[in-house]
Amino acid sequence: MPTESKVDVLVLGAGPAGLMCAQGLKRAGVNVRIIDKRPKKVAAGQADGVQPRTIEVLQAFYNPSPNGGIERTGRTADITAPSARYPFEVTLHQGAIEAIFLDSMRELGLEVDRPIIPTALELSHDENELRDPQSYPVKVTLKHLDFGSEGQDDTEIVYAKFVVGADGAHSWVRKTLGIIMDGEQTDYIWGVVDLIPSTNFPDIRNRCAIHSSNGSCMIIPREGDKVRLYIQLSDKDVVVDKATGRVDKEKTKVGPEELLEVARKSFSPFTIEKAGEIDWWTIYLIGQRVAQKFSVHERVFIAGDACHTHSPKAGQGMNASMNDTHNLIWKMTYVLRGWADISLLRTYEFERRKYAQDLIAFDKKFSALFSGKPRTEECQDGVSHEAFLEAFQTFGAFSCGIGIHYSPSSIPSMPNITELKHQSLTSHQTVGMRILPHVFVRAADARPFEIQDLLPANTKWKLVVFVGDIGPGKIKQIERVAKLADDLGKSTGLLKRYEDGVFEILTICATVKECLNYTDLPEVLRPHWSRVLLDDVDMFGRTGGKGYDIYGVDPSQGAIIVVRPDGYVGTVTPLEGVKDLETYFDTFLIRTL
């Protein structure tokens, strides 16, 4: 007889999206299990682009030279978004990135169960059971691939409240649920090689876009002395399986040496050779697709490559995948804790599918420019350097993740006006986008702190209260702040309306450090001595100040910025807007009063 077990959340797939999901849920106290078919973690290659080593911040462009070969035609900052806290990219192969999650999970007492594959998935049709977040409506049959003893049953049945399919572009979960991918396979064929190069190419440690008469190439500096080369191939170089739309590697005669030979032609007049063994390589066709839906009955979800595929050259694959489950973690946690209605989970598809569609639209334009022929005297219809540079800079905020904007009213029962009603109070901080970075000074000890570091993804909602200037003589503003504290802290107020632990308060004063003590604030607005900040410079005048200008807040008015557990701004209200806050949270949080 197969063994049986129950779990709150079963995660299928231990790539970056699945590991992000399992680690975040475990840290939130959720009973979670994660399985993977691989017997061990990725050793090299695949995705990269998170940490720990930064690469240079220049983006270099090379195009055909009139004298033959290629020449550098321009340089620009790799990260062009002005509000980027970290104005650079970082790279590390996927196996090392996964190891960071695995180590963190191990500290929490969670390991990946492997090698295991799912063989069946059944979802209850009982509507009452589906509506009850504490039920176990999903039955998943698992097969253990390493069961050694003959006669032992290698089958296991798991009953789960929720299932997350983070099992890649050829997702078993997606196919089992019958979810269709909308989009198309392009004609763009690319090879990828990770190696330590021996070269006289001067920009080998910069991210480079090369357009040559032989095809295009992209250089991504990697950890240590490694680089990754993306190399454009022609359709005569590879054999495509028409049934699957994938490269048939058995019939294709192109290997890593052949890829390097194509790269040599693209690099001319510069030279490039390998200094040692090639670390990893692959060949792929660019597919640009989005799943028609990201969940079934808000009980089984798909994330990452399972629900969107695109080219890797914009550096979005792994980042988009991890942000999928980052969006889902807190919502699932709230539902499991009984803090939020299960309808909150609908917002996962609303927000992340819209982002995926925007990503595909961006990728189509970027891939067409990158894969197109360069403009030369013989090819006037080709891609010009100016057109490629314009696209790179136009999409800069989106490609680095800063420009993600979740549309308002993603919660079905919420009227449109609620979230955006007071947007004018924070003219530079857009509702639906991530909280802007800025350095403030802590009132208690004048130490500078980056606000994003004080708003961790700990499943709590943050009420960032810009109280304005409440220094000496500011009687009217002091009275407004006192009234806000009373409204928040009364027995029927916002802070008592829902489960304890939903909210954290961070107060920011437009008063200089010489004129305010943190104890001048009402207790509700200083829950801990470390939670009061000043919009002032540090003791040496090196950092901080002008924060109210950064967020577009009038110091004479103030504002409350509501930051979601995933770091995005949910809504904005005036100091007198506690009723608006209650209306906002009542649409998805479960009241205790």
Q: Which tens digit of pLDDT belongs to each residue from 293-309?
A: 999 999 999 999 999 98
pTM over 0.85: yes
Helices of type H across 132-243? 172-177
Evaluate the CA torsion angle 422, 424, 426, 427 in order and state its sign. positive
Distance CA 176, CA 184 (A): 21
Which residues, in sequence order, are CB contacts of 100 under 8 Å at separation 6+?
Answer: 51
- Residue appearing with tokens 């969107």: 308
Residue 433: the pLDDT is 92
Q: How far is CA 108 from CA 24, 80, 102, 275, 468, in A?
A: 10, 38, 10, 41, 41
Average pLDDT value for the chain:
87
Is-contact 368 311, C-beta < 8 A? no
Structure tokens at 251: 């019939």
Name the band, by pLDDT with cuts 50, 70 and 90, for residue 61: low
DSSP E strand stretches across 135-275: 138-144, 155-165, 181-195, 197-199, 207-212, 215-221, 227-233, 240-241, 246-247, 272-274
- Percent of the chain at pLDDT exceeding 90: 63
Cβ neighbours for 540, distance < 8 A, ≥ 6 positions apart: none
Q: Which of 203, 236, 235 is nearest to 221 (CA)?
A: 203
The pLDDT > 70 percentage for the chain reads 85
CB atoms closer than 10 angstroms to residue 460: 16
Taking each continuous run of H as one helix and of E as one strand, the counts in the chain are 14, 29
Distance CA 425, CA 555 (A): 10
Q: Which residue(s) pair with 192 in the sheet?
A: 230, 282
DSSP 11: E
Most confident of 135-139, 153-157, 238-242, 586-590: 135-139
Specify the DSSP class assigned to residue 133: T
Residues annotated as catalytic are 48, 222, 230, 312
Residue 315 region, left (φ>0) first, then alpha (ψ -120 to 50), else beta?
A: left
One-letter amino acid of 205: R
Instruction: Please tell me the least confidently modeled range out of 380-384, 449-453, 469-473.
Output: 380-384
